[in-house]
Structure 1
């Protein structure tokens, strides 16, 4: 019943397996089926020409496959078949949104109803869409004229996989080190119950789409975990599992996966109706699902049927957005043919545009008085306890002339039940920049109402089905609290948000340009001028000054302000009641799309918070002493289930941590030193640390501490490199990067991994370091094992599975 996909490609890098029959590509990633639309359009994925086909080739492939396809979210691509132009319901460009279609005059009302369940699991929430409308109720529900009805209901509280008989579509993302999102953990824990019988889900038929990023080791592991466990418990696929990679573009897998989904559903529904003896309705279903799917959220309103739908849906005639440009041009006379965020050039400036339907407003904000208290920050997270802890020490680890500024902060957790192990990460709850909040209030003309309490609730009469107040927005709080602690003001606006901003823009040229940026034809401009430079809402409002969005629009479209993750750089055994972490202050330079330079949301806030302590330390000889502070920050735990020291202390370990990637290894070494002091009779394996930075005298982090670890025997081998230091006197140029140093010690690396079954840890930048380290280890294994690279990749994959090659990396 599932579509056949005979071709295969690398699920992470988008490259062909080598050799073709191998389950791995030439980078050691597992090969998965290619959806037929992708395989047909890109037959070169089936062969290997000896060259590395990296991820960066695939955006061009995406443009060849689907010109203008720029959607980054699966839910914004859900579509209904073109044979259902008057269907009772279809999903629009807004997630989990249902629209009602019209009944064509004179058309007979169908009594056929198809039940489909849609289960969406992501870091931002769980939503289920389902219907159990009976045959006799379909005609009464919306006066149907179509052959098939897709009914969706957002009440996921009544959803139960254990009793579900209708087909289920599951979409699940991956977070952390291959973990399911927070909102899916209860589900995963439930299905992983070892007491469940092997036929527990024998009644269930499902299709699953996993969302992930191959920049990280455990690609799509959240989806893979759920998929594998459901299979073990007897569930059946009605459609092949898809794994979408945000590194190369989710749409490369999502688009063809959705296209094939409808054909798979057709077969399921036909069989279902045949079994129910409803042969009279099968022809209608078959005919209605025989053509290619049509994306209904990108409306091309050229037919009377589409106009009829919009009128029935309450969309104004001004929203008919397939329009010809008459004489509007956004190209400044002195810019000739140069495109920018606010200026367009032909052909898009002279093109008709396919623009998403206007998302219906569903939030209402009522201003109240200035009396009351804001909710506590713990109410803003879905699970776990929040601890407000003081910052007891702040030290600048780099010199003033270093390229990046690295800070060490120490927190006092003695009066809390917060616990951690070396290697664990934790979250810091950070606010938006105060000046940016004030600036936004000024643009919204709400500066005088920032301290007013507001009541946020669902707008009466909204056309958004299943509308609810976002969980991260308090029902009652001050306006400043919402803008400071709840909304990610730096988030890159999605196309649906741009579409909504069009209606808030008075200048005709600015309005047109926003329409272009959210249109199908403007996909490349959206990527070039908004997504790639990380343009945020404030940048847009500066670029389009006539745009004056309402407060409710911001609440509807801006995502939750996420806590920031940091690795612990201390040991609770070595320093009881203390938690330290290291970070570099992130800086974004001004550019054509960003009028002012900015610092990272969290790192900039932390640096400003401890600035008085840093000034006090500046003239102090002993910078490790720091100074006392009354400043507090809110944190909560996010344990790392794998990135820990070996349980057996006699096992040797190698650590690779350039720059701030050294942070967790300081905790490792502190912990190991304390164990050596307390257990003199224990046997301890040798320890290696590969560290690198730009300049030896500017950003060599923890230089004195590492020397002490060497002297007391906690650290056996310290190998360092400096990428920007020149060495004109040396006959042979010294290695610049940690992967180069690792290659110089190939025999030792092979001995630790192959003979002594040691552990290998990597922490730091994924793209510019971790991949290079992985390649170096593969080359070493290939050389020492006297085998080809493919076998070495397979061996490295087994090390990963055995949790002996561990990574804590970021993009």
Structure 2
């Protein structure tokens, strides 16, 4: 009843006029996609309050756009050393222009929400800087800023859920709905922002059927043949069938192994014209042909062979559990084609962790700004490259079977956006291959193995008729039942595909795929190469990239082996394969630091960016001394780049936690070597902390403070912290 009342009201001219100014612009700045996800959550919250919402990447708007909206909400994460994300830097720089009038944003009403990690020293600096600058330019805060900490026991949700609920209450109070109009309840589905529609295809009824041997079948216009031609992941074209089953009769219509096909063709034509002929007159099987209007006679020339079907390989690749993802290159903006030269495991086979040393070679490409010029891929230590993983065909086929999408799985589709959202024609950061089939979209573009967000359960509850399933899904979507949601998803690392297997009554329309499944994002890896390692001596137009990657593979409380999407992809990525990568710059490591002493701390694969920096220092004649505290489990298993450290002129102090009864970590070594640590600090060293985030960075900083107290450089930890902030640059590369 409430829904009908809302529809009647908004359909009237008076209702539309009253809702015209009910608009919110939601801007996000994100490195890994978390801010973008939260922006989507806020969008749905506002839509249910009948706000006309627009979600944009911060770099996609100009400052004067802010003046066109009554309310603006910024969601931004902090990267590196308090930096603004790359997709927000253009907008941020526009805010810093000196010629901006002091009150140029006085008509803007805004609020902000920040994402940060308290293990960093500059926690949530990006949102704080943004908030302060907006106020300096005259903008007014309409709702208090929120800040999320990834270290919270409930993650980002620990803060965001309560903040967003308070925001909802505030919007309802300060911007009340007109009489007769109520918020859209959660059990009413919002229209999808993006949908999939069948791509327009050539009408084959207007084309002559080409003949392999120079013959032509008669004009097919009268046959009304409309079965579209689609491109498979391996690049071949084939008719789109309603039933993709490959049966034995298909083999009887192949020209394979025919010594003289033209002579055979004449004989077969004569046989077909005989009134006693009982031959099959098409390449395709009867099972497929009966789906075609006009029957089997209109499909192709007669070409029956008598070979046994066992001669032909008819196995569907998607049914092979070991089939690898296809090597199609996605049209990613500012992407580079990289050739995988090496993918070598550096830890023993019997070691608990599979760590890979990858070597990529990136050739020059045409410069988009200067015609005729070539652009050389370049990077500096501290930068990262993004590798774009793919789903495995077997998993995709499982989803297709589960959803009942086999009839359309190999047809080409296009993304369509809601009419009101014309800036993006498809989900942000979704880069499909032209004329992608549904199967290809699922392999290359949509993540079906991610741990689902809360909104996923809310959305799929609309696609089941099972009352028990619907009730259970909505319980997982309920913010008040966070423990159940966590126990079902994050704790066992249950994937989207597994959730759908647990709830088989859910049948998602293929048209709604873009609104339900998250876009597959690139995985970021710090470069492990610098200096001389960048160059290919045989070809100066090639840039080398080395990566040190720890593959994610473990068992959960469900006793199931889990593997990260990109880890699984990289594990089976064969040398010689071309992949698409992008480059992410981090302005945290200054070139002048190579002349200062270096105090580096790096457990595990965190040593990658430090190794890159050390190779850069080799080319610097005035490079300062270098001291590295390296941590791992076992010297014989994970002492990465052990053979290089002496040549790189770095003193290495190790802490291998499992090589003795009592565990030893890098922070223990720092306290043991307090004199050496103080000596480097007194020389004005650069301090680099690289590795996994969480407790490690903070534990290392406390150990350095303790070493300074032991060396009489400061009376206590707080004073030591102040001394370091004044004299010693800090470079943190943690993830």
Report the TM-score, using the length of structure 2 for normalisation. Answer: 0.69
Q: Which digits, 9 at most, give the CA deviation of each residue in 1:560-610, with x for residues without a partner?
A: 111011111111434413111111111132543x8x523221122112113
Q: Kindly tell me: are residues 585 and 476 of structure 1, through their superposed partners in 2, closer, same or farther at Cα, counting changes over 3 Å?
A: same
- Report matched runs for 1:154-169 at 5 Å: 154=54, 160-161=63-64, 164=67, 168-169=71-72
CA offset at residue 525 of structure 1? 0.9
* Separation (CA, whole Å) in 2 of partners of 1:748 and 1:424: 29
| SS state at 1:703 partner | coil
The 8 Å contact of residues 343 and 358 in structure 2, kept in 1 or not, is answered as yes
Q: Counterparts in 2 of 1:409-448, with a 5 A limit?
A: 409-416=358-365, 417-447=376-406
- Within 2, Cα distance between the matches of 1:512 and 1:112? 33
Tell me which residue corresponds to 1:651.
Answer: 596
1:667 and 1:264 map into 2 onto residues whose CA distance is: 50
Determine the structure 1 residue equivalent to 2:678. 750
CA distance in 1, matches of 2:553, 2:495: 15
Q: Distance in 2 between matches of 1:427 and 1:455?
A: 26
1:776 and 2:698 equivalent? no
Shift of 1:671: 2.1
5 Å matches for 1:634-713?
634-643=580-589, 646-675=591-620, 682-709=621-648
Q: Distance in 2 between matches of 1:643 and 1:158?
A: 29
* Deviation of the 1:444 alpha carbon: 2.2
Name the CA distance, whole Å, in 2 between partners of 1:158 and 1:414.
33
The verdict on how the C-alpha distance between 1:446 and 1:642 changes in structure 2, with shifts beyond 3 A counting, is same
Give the Cα–Cα distance (whole angstroms) in 2 for the partners of residues 429 and 764 of structure 1.
22
RMSD of aligned Cα (Å)? 4.2
The residue aligned with 2:715 is: 787
Match of 1:598 in 2: 562
Contact 1:356–1:519 (CA under 8 A) maintained in structure 2: no
Out of 105, 129, 132, the position equivalent to 1:225 is 129
Alignment of 1:21-170 (within 5 A): 102=9, 117-123=24-30, 151-154=51-54, 160-161=63-64, 164=67, 168-170=71-73
1:245 paired with 2:176, answer no
Determine the structure 2 residue equivalent to 1:22.
none
Of the three residues 68, 72, 75, the one matched with 1:172 is 75
Are the counterparts in 2 of residues 473 and 482 from structure 1 also a CA contact under 8 Å? no
Moved more, 660-669 or 164-173: 164-173
In structure 2, the CA distance between the partners of 1:760 and 1:362, relative to structure 1 (3 Å rule), is closer
1:386 alignment counterpart: 335
The equivalent residue for 2:229 is 370
Size of the aligned set, in residue pairs, is 577
Deviations 1:40-76 (CA, angstroms, capped at 9, x unpaired) = xxxxxxxxxxxxxxxxxxxxxxxxxxxxxxxxxxxxx
Structure 2 match to 1:406? 355
CA change 1:103–1:654 in 2 (3 A) is closer
Distance in 2, matches of 1:102 and 1:539, equals 41
Cα-to-partner distance string for 1:20-39 (whole Å, 9 max, x where unaligned): xxxxxxxxxxxxxxxxxxxx
Alpha-carbon distance between aligned partners in 1 of 2:639 and 2:15, rounded to the nearest angstrom:
77
Q: Secondary structure at the match of 2:582?
A: strand
The equivalent of 2:652 in structure 1 is 718
Q: Cα distance 1:757–1:233, how it changes in 2: closer, same or farther (>3 A)?
A: farther
Distance in 2, Cα, partners of 1:116 & 1:771? 43
C-alpha deviation, 1:742, in angstroms = 1.0
Q: Which has the larger radius of gyration?
A: 2
Whether 1:585 aligns to 2:551 is yes
Is there any run of 5+ residues in structure 1 with no aligned partner, and where?
1-84, 90-98, 131-148, 270-284, 290-304, 314-319, 321-354, 611-628, 676-681, 728-732
Residue 807 (structure 1) aligned with residue 732 (structure 2) = yes
Name the SS of the counterpart of 2:700 in structure 1. Answer: helix
Q: Is the 8 A contact 1:589 1:597 kept in 2?
A: yes
Partner of 1:631: 577
Please report the TM-score for the alignment, with normalisation by the length of structure 1. Answer: 0.63
Deviation at 1:659, TM superposition (A): 1.1
Instruction: Name the structure 2 match of 1:77.
Output: none
